[in-house]
Amino acid sequence: MWDYTEKVKEHFFNPRNTGVLEEANGVGDVGSIQCGDALRLMLKVEPETEIILDAKFQTFGCGSAIASSSALTELVKGKTLDEALTISNQDIAAYLDGLPPEKMHCSVMGREALQAAIANYRGEEWKDDHEEGELICKCYAIDSALIESVVRENSLTTLEQVTHYTKAGGACASCHEKIEEVLQRTLAAQCSAPAVKPAEKPEPAPAAASAEKPKLTNLQRMRKIEEIIESVRPMLQRDHGDIEIVDIVGKNIYVNLKGACMGCALEAATLGSIQQKLFEDLGEYVRLLPASQLEMAH
């Protein structure tokens, strides 16, 4: 099961300050739809000094949700409201000697309950503004909601940029595929399929070069095709797409178009312009076809 610290286990098995606080004058009810956890925090605040005299909680949730709630009540007791408001979710997690990344949201829920209870005491309306998404990077506890907003705000387009801005994917790297999915999803709205620009002008071929081109061996030809495809990949990748060769059968080159290019109205156009480049560089007529047609051919 989870790798809980001794402190978490201790607060789960013997939670402090549980139950209903009859004299509460500030109550915060919050929940996380993601995990289905819910927490009611009850505070007894001394009006003159705004000191939290007592705190109790009731929690519906997993072991770490209960432990986080218990830790929260211990942390706030004796503090003034303003002092209490400086407690961050990291403070709650640190009090417990850390939480597994999947469970960091339990500490976030604790902090929100505190804000809600204080708002309730002050007669203010509390609105939760944080969004929760699927946990993507377990090493740094980064969820999809954070990645999406950072991508939008900073116009990020590559995995490397996401790692640079959020740290997501920067350690064990096993979430790279998921990050790419979030990236694609976020950018899908502006589906700018990569029209392959004639990037660098090809070296002007010496006159009649193609006529003199020595005939390539099969292997040389395959290598050459690979080389050409490799050379257009960075362009596609810049637009969140990619291409890979699946098979070469005579004049037919079967490829997989991936990412933003796939299924786009511009898929055909993309293939068309890569095919053009292949003719030119290879000096022979070839057809570039989606790999799905290879299955049909078999």
Partner 1 sequence: MTPIYLDNNATTACDPAVVAAMLPFFTEQFGNASSIHSFGNQVGLAIKAARSQIQALLGAEHDSEIIFTSGGTESDNTAILSALKAQPDRKTIITTKVEHPAVLAFCDRLEKEGYVVHKLGVDGRGRLDLDEYRSLLNDRVAIVSVMWANNETGTIFPVEEMAEIAHARGIQFHTDAVQAVGKIPIDLKRSKIDMLSLSGHKLHGPKGIGVLYLRRGTRYRALFHGGQQERGRRPGTENSTGIIGLGKASELVMQHFSTENQEVRYLRDKLEKGILAQVPRAFPTGDLNNRLPNTSSIAFEFVEGEGILLLLNKLGIAASSGSACTSGSLEPSHVMRAMGIPYTAAHGTIRFSLSRYNTLEEVERVIEAVPPIITQLRKISPYWNEATNSPAAQAFAPAYA
Q: Compute how many residues bind partner 1; rule: CB under 8 A.
A: 49
Q: Is 30 in the site for partner 1 (CB under 8 A)?
A: yes
Identified binder of partner 1 from the candidate list 25, 34, 149, 161, rule CB under 8 A: 34
Interface stretch with partner 1, choices 43-51, 61-69, 190-198, 222-230 (CB under 8 A): 61-69
Whether 106 sits among the annotated catalytic residues: the reply is: yes
Q: Is 123 in the site for partner 1 (CB under 8 A)?
A: no
Q: At what angle do helices 104-121 and 63-76 cross, to 10 degrees?
A: 40
Give the nearer residue to partner 1 in terms of CB position, either 64 or 166.
64
Q: How far is the CB of 63 from partner 1 (least distance, A)?
A: 5
Cα dist from 259 to 133, 177, 187, 211, 274, whole Å: 22, 11, 11, 38, 16
132 touches partner 1 by CB under 8 A: yes
Contact predicate 101/25, CB 8 Å: no
Query: Scanning residues 214 to 273, which ones bind partner 1 (CB under 8 A)?
Result: 263
Exactly one of 106, 137, 261, 264 is catalytic; name it.
Answer: 106
* Relative orientation angle of helices 144-154 and 176-188, to the nearest 10 degrees: 50
CA distance 252 to 261: 20
Tokens of 245: 């060769």
Burial status of residue 270 (CB atoms within 10 A of its CB: 0-12, 13-18, 19 or more):
buried
CA distance 183 to 142: 14
Tell me: does residue 19 bind partner 1 (CB under 8 A).
yes
**65 near partner 1, rule: CB under 8 A:** yes
201 C-beta neighbours (distance < 10 Å), count? 6
Stretch that binds partner 1, among 44-52, 60-68, 87-95, 154-162 (CB under 8 A): 60-68
Binding positions for partner 1, rule: CB under 8 A: 1-2, 9, 12-13, 15, 18-20, 29-40, 57-66, 102-103, 105, 108-109, 112, 116, 126, 128, 130-132, 135, 263, 292, 295-296, 298
Active site (catalytic) residues: 35, 106
